Structure formats: C-alpha cells, structure tokens
Homo-oligomer: A and B are copies of this chain.
Amino acid sequence: MAKQKYGAGIWHFATYVDRYATDGYGPARSLIEMIDLAGQVEDLSVVDINYPFVDPSLSLDTVEAALKRNNLSVIGITPEIYTRQFARGAFTNPDPGIRRLANEMVNDAANVVRRFGADYVKLWPGQDGWDYPFQVDHRQLWQMSMDGVGELASQNPDLKFVIEYKPREPRNHMSYDSVARTLLGIEKIGLPNIGILLDFGHSLYGGESPADAAQLAIDHGRLFGMDVNDNLRGWDDDMIAGSVHPIELFEFFYTLRKNKWDGVWQLDQFPFREDSVQAANAAISFLKVIERALDKLDFAAMQDAQDRQDAVAAMKLARDALFTSY
C-alpha cells in the first residue's frame, strides 16, 4: 500500500469567531498565513480551501506560490454558501435570486477546482434546512436541496461534487442531515458525479456509527472523500481526532482499508483555543498509530469474529492491534 496522504481543511489554521467571542479567538489570519501554518505540520500534503478567499483580492497565482513553497496541493474547494447572504439558505433560499447567487458562486469555485487540478467541489449547505416547527414545506425544501446540487453537477459534468452532510448547525436542522438521507437524495438526482464527503464527527454526533456510514456510502459507490475530528457526541465540537473516540476512529479506518478505499485522510478540526499546528500534529501522529494498527490487525480473524457478531472477540482483536502500535 502506498504511503498514506494526509490533508486538512485550510480553516484548521484560521482563527474563529462565535456568537459570544465576537472579536474572535485570535487576530484574523490571511489565507497565505494559513497556508504557511499548514506547511509547518509534519506530514500534510493537501488542503481544502474556502472560496471566495478570505482576502478577496488575492490572486490565484499568489495562492499557488504559497502552496508550492509549502509542498501542498489542493484536494477540494469549499464555496462559502453559508455566509450572510445565504443566511436563509443557499439551494433552498426562498428567494430565487439568492439561489441563483449560490449557483454562480459554486460555478466560480468549480473553475478554481479546475485551475488547481483539485479533486472536487465540496458542498456544505449549512444554512439549508429549518429552525422551527411549521417553518417550511418539507417536500419543497427537499426538492430544492436536490435541485440545487443536481443543477451544479449537470453544469459541470467534468467535475466531482461532494456533499458534506451534517445533522445541524448553524441551522437547527440541515436538509442533508445523514448519510442515508444524502444517499437517498443522490440516487434521486441520478448523476454519477455527486458523492459524499463523510465527516467522522458529523456522523458520530448524528447517532450513526461512522464505520457503518462509510460502508453504506461505499456500497452505493458514493464515498468520494472524508475527514476526521472528534466530539462529545452531542455537537460538532471539531476536537482533535482520537482525543475521545479512538476505538470508533479505528473502526472507521478499518472499514476504509477493508474496502480498499485509498483516498486522503483529512482533518476537519477547529482548534479554538489551541495552537493549530500542534493540534494538527497531535491528530496526525495518532492517525499514524492507526495506520500501523491496520497493518498489524488480523483482518481474517476480525472478519471471523464479525461473522459471529462476537463483540468481545472483536474488541480484543482491535485492542491488540491498536494498543500495541503507538
């Protein structure tokens, strides 16, 4: 197996605001500063970049140069379809003019994907959903959710689009809320270039088993990307991967390996109060433990235990591999 590649959303290296610390958890950073921080992480090859750039006047050439000097390439572009103008929805905004703006922004992002030779346009429609009982016509909302994505995939048949589902936040309920709902929508749209980007933490706090979610997406031929982090199962805390759920993280990667899924292992962490380079290194160093544990794990014995659904035997096999690979 080739050397595992690691990646991160570039926002890992940003500073953040929230509704309380409105002045931010640190001074704002330019995209170039973020890229230079990403370059300091010990084993990072690719990044996912938000579009439009934090600094709107920044040229693609400047970004490319910064990436190059840090030995980074671009895996995906994430259009910001969740900022103020899209506060009431991007694909599902009641205003057709705003829906048009969303389409245009994503098409612009598609061009950046082409420019950087990236793998995909990432769609995270965080403002598409609802907050209150009775607020929306659920048929209509879901139809618009599918139409918005389908239109983009039709307009750009040469590119892949990945949907990053999430149960909620910032909306109280997002329309693409789970792996099964997203697959159901993708099958309904019926285009080959739409897939899922599975965020381990979204899956976990949505009540899924991330390993099961990955298997389901793979079985539908739609696992186009993934990223990891951790949380306390009640919210998208975007903590350092492995800090709370090392066993389920291991099971997730076991599922990928078993299915010979060989994409990039990405981070989607928000180190609000931590040093972002340290937080990335802490995660990747544990992911390397998992890599080694996968090399050591007895896959045949595990399959046998799983065929018997023998939880105790399976757990012992997992522990034997994970806790001896540090």
Contacts and interface: CB of A to CB of B under 8 A. Distances in A.
A23 interface: yes
Interface stretch (A57-65, A68-76, A107-115, A211-219): A211-219
A91 interface: no
B132 A239 contact: yes
Interface string A232-260: 11110101100111111011001100000
Given A16-B19, A23-B83, A216-B138, A133 B272 contact: no
Interface stretch (A41-49, A147-155, A167-175): A167-175
A187 interface: yes
A245 B87 CA distance: 25
A251 to B, nearest CB: 5
Interface string A1-40: 0000000000000001111111111100000000000000
Interface in A268-312: 270, 272-275, 278-279, 282, 286, 289, 302-303, 305-312
A53 interface: no
Contacts of A21: 82-84, 87, 127, 170
Contacts of A167: 207
A314 interface: yes
Interface string A103-141: 000000000000000000000001100111111111110
Contacts of A289: 323
Given A178-B178, A323-B326, A134 B87 contact: no
Contact of A88 (B131, B181, B219, B273): B273
Nearest to A275: B312
Given A23-B84, A131-B273, A282-B312, A136 B206 contact: no
Contacts of A317: 134
Contact of A134 (B94, B216, B239, B314): B314
A55 to B, nearest CB: 13
A13 to B, nearest CB: 14
A142 interface: yes
A84 B26 contact: yes
B170 A18 contact: yes
- The list of the 4 closest CB pairs from A to B, nearest first, reads A323-B326, A180-B181, A180-B180, A132-B311
